[in-house]
Amino acid sequence: MATDDKKTAASADSFDVIVIGGGPAGYPAAIRAAQNKLSVACIDEWKNKDGAAAFGGTCLNAGCIPSKALLESTELYHRAQAEFATHGIRIAGATMDVAQMQKRKSGIVRTMTQGILALFKGAGVTGLQGHGKLLAPGKVEFTAHDGTRRTLSARQVVLASGSAPIELRSAPFQSPQIVDSWGALDFEAVPQRLGVIGAGVIGLELGSVWRRLGAEVVVLEALPEFLAIADQQLAKEALRAFKKQGLDVRLGAKVTGATVKGDAVEVRYTDGKGEQQLTVDRLVVAVGRRPYTKDLLAEGTGVKLDERGFIVVDEHCRTGIEGVWAIGDCVRGPMLAHKGKEEGVMVADLIAGRYGETNYKVIPSVIYTAPEIAWVGLTEEQAKASGRAYKVGVFPFLASGRARAMEQAGGFAKVVAAQDNDEILGVHIVGPLAGELIAEAVLAMEYSASSEDLQRTIHAHPTLSEAVHEAALNADKRSIDNINR
């Protein structure tokens, strides 16, 4: 339980806790530490392209939030064109004002990042904008953006320096033609031909944004399987939907080179048939992210990096050096904002002597395309590989009255449960608002629920969540609203 930790009167240079990095891992750690009555500083060096410093890290400035803003705008545009007539809504000549779309996105980013300043003020966190470097346990060098430098001290230091896009040697960034995900969020016009390297979460979301606005999009993915990390029944359904939307996803296509020629890019790749070539106007490299720890650690701090550059930590994010912790994208585990946030909260509670735990087995994944894709826990393939007998229940949105009313009846919900004790092992959803629906499955799994628990839970009618309910029923072939197979 809570300790009676009293906040050490923070002098300008001395704190109980210093957090380096103000992204979705670092800023929640700072706020929770302050809630725990500790004196806290959070150092962050992020600067936006206009030169303005902003808290919020990749997520708020160049990741989760701007991408969702563009996905929303473009999906509305697409639906206005492709779907409104079905509802009887006649709108002739809808056009997209890309500048306005980008202005709206930037406004959301500004409001959200400034919101962190307000949160810091409310919680009593000292926000410091500039570079932080761990000199030794308890000692942090802070260099403000104006170059002034001072040494701060803290009983505990939390490293939350995040990640950066991976650059391909075969296709080095060359703005404006060859860009990373941040560049692709900022296009001022719709490229006629867009190449995307990597059919991961980021590649699919960005490809969808520009495809909906009319770009011819080719996604090159080195692996032979689509979304290899997801349940393959889910992945197949999603791939079918993406292809129908005109997203040209080429699997087993490994990019070997890219050359800027005038305002276009010549991309070379190999697939099962040999050497291939593709010419695009813009190329987005979305092949993943790497941990970012540049100038974060002075010589001799003892903090270790693994062979891929991640800060080595245990399951409680301890680095093994007394008083030094690390959280978020710069440590092992999925690179997701909510995973980092949970680690930040855990560490801030452990520092204050409270209970803290991150349940790494129950971290939801969401891809905010249309259809949305979301899952938690084991895929059917992983359940099979584990050797434990399992059962599967599926419910298609075609049989959901709400999904039909929304004109979004593609996809399904799927529950994988253990045959022996009925424990829910995984839930997979492809379809409308899958990212919202998965929260119920996350909560169920957090409580180690059985499929029967979901079956006996009353779901409002008509809602999309009934699909999860019916999928759980179908695991025992007791679905009411669908033929049990």
Active centre residues (catalytic)? 461
- Rule CB under 6 A: choose which of 19, 96, 109, 162 binds ligand FAD: 162
Cβ proximity to ligand AMP, 202 vs 444, nearer residue:
202
Q: Residue 149: exposed, middle, or buried by beta-carbon count in 10 A (0-12, 13-18, 19+)?
A: exposed
Q: CB-based contacts of 138: which residues, under 8 Å, 6+ apart?
A: 153, 154, 155, 157, 323
77: region left, alpha or beta (phi > 0 left; psi from -120 to 50 alpha): alpha
Cβ proximity to ligand AMP, 267 vs 468, nearer residue:
267
> Among 66, 5, 15, which residue's Cα sits nearest to residue 40?
15
Query: Which listed option, ligand FAD, ligand AMP, none, makes contact with residue 370 (CB within 5 to 8 Å by class)?
Result: none
Strands 163-165 and 289-291, sheet pairing: antiparallel
> Among 58, 59, 29, which residue's Cα sits nearest to residue 42?
29
221 binds ligand AMP (CB under 6 A): yes
C-beta nearest to ligand AMP: residue: 200
Which stretch, 54-62, 216-224, 229-237, 252-260, contacts ligand FAD (CB under 6 A)?
54-62
Query: Which listed option, ligand AMP, ligand FAD, none, makes contact with residue 324 (CB within 5 to 8 Å by class)?
Result: none
d(CA 96, CA 78) in angstroms, rounded, equals 10
Task: Please report how close the Cβ of residue 110 comes to ligand AMP at its closest, in angstroms.
Answer: 26
Strands 139-144 and 149-159, sheet pairing: antiparallel
d(CA 40, CA 31) in angstroms, rounded, equals 8
Q: Which run of H or E residues covers position 53?
A: none
Query: Which listed option, ligand FAD, ligand AMP, none, makes contact with residue 371 (CB within 5 to 8 Å by class)?
Result: none
Query: Which listed option, ligand AMP, ligand FAD, none, makes contact with residue 197 (CB within 5 to 8 Å by class)?
Result: ligand AMP
Strands 365-367 and 149-159, sheet pairing: unpaired
Which stretch, 22-30, 170-178, 188-196, 375-383, contacts ligand FAD (CB under 6 A)?
22-30
217 binds ligand AMP (CB under 6 A): no
Write the interaction track for ligand FAD spanning residues 324-363; mark x where CB under 6 A is met and - where it is not.
----xx-----xxxx-x-----------------------
DSSP at 167: P
425 binds ligand AMP (CB under 6 A): no
Per-residue tokens: 160: 């939350």
Residues 224-283 that bind ligand AMP (CB under 6 A): 254-255
d(CA 53, CA 363) in angstroms, rounded, equals 31
124 binds ligand AMP (CB under 6 A): no
Residue 126, SS3 per DSSP: strand
Cβ proximity to ligand AMP, 286 vs 348, nearer residue:
286
**What is the DSSP track for 234-246?**
HHHHHHHHHHHTT
Cβ proximity to ligand FAD, 140 vs 475, nearer residue:
140
- Rule CB under 6 A: choose which of 54, 202, 265, 415 binds ligand AMP: 202
End-to-end Cα, the chain, rounded Å: 49
Query: Which listed option, ligand FAD, ligand AMP, none, makes contact with residue 292 (CB within 5 to 8 Å by class)?
Result: ligand FAD
d(CA 273, CA 276) in angstroms, rounded, equals 8
Residues 284-343 that bind ligand AMP (CB under 6 A): 286-288
Query: Residue 143 pairs with which residues in a beta bridge?
Result: 131, 149
Write the interaction track for ligand FAD spanning residues 113-152; mark x where CB under 6 A is met and - where it is not.
------------------xx--------------------
Cβ proximity to ligand FAD, 69 vs 267, nearer residue:
69
Q: What is the largest CA-CA distance in the chain?
A: 70
Q: CB-based contacts of 484: which residues, under 8 Å, 6+ apart?
A: 474, 477, 478
196 binds ligand FAD (CB under 6 A): no
43 binds ligand FAD (CB under 6 A): yes
202 binds ligand FAD (CB under 6 A): yes
Write the interaction track for ligand AMP spanning residues 67-96; mark x where CB under 6 A is met and - where it is not.
------------------------------
204 binds ligand AMP (CB under 6 A): no
CB 266 within 8 A of CB 275: no
> Among 165, 180, 167, 171, which residue's Cα sits nearest to residue 269?
171
Query: Which listed option, ligand AMP, ligand FAD, none, makes contact with residue 221 (CB within 5 to 8 Å by class)?
Result: ligand AMP
476: region left, alpha or beta (phi > 0 left; psi from -120 to 50 alpha): alpha
Residues lying near ligand AMP in the complex (CB under 6 A): 168, 197-202, 220-223, 254-255, 286-288
Residues lying near ligand FAD in the complex (CB under 6 A): 20-26, 43-46, 57-59, 62-64, 67, 131-132, 160-163, 181, 202, 292, 296, 328-329, 335-338, 340, 368
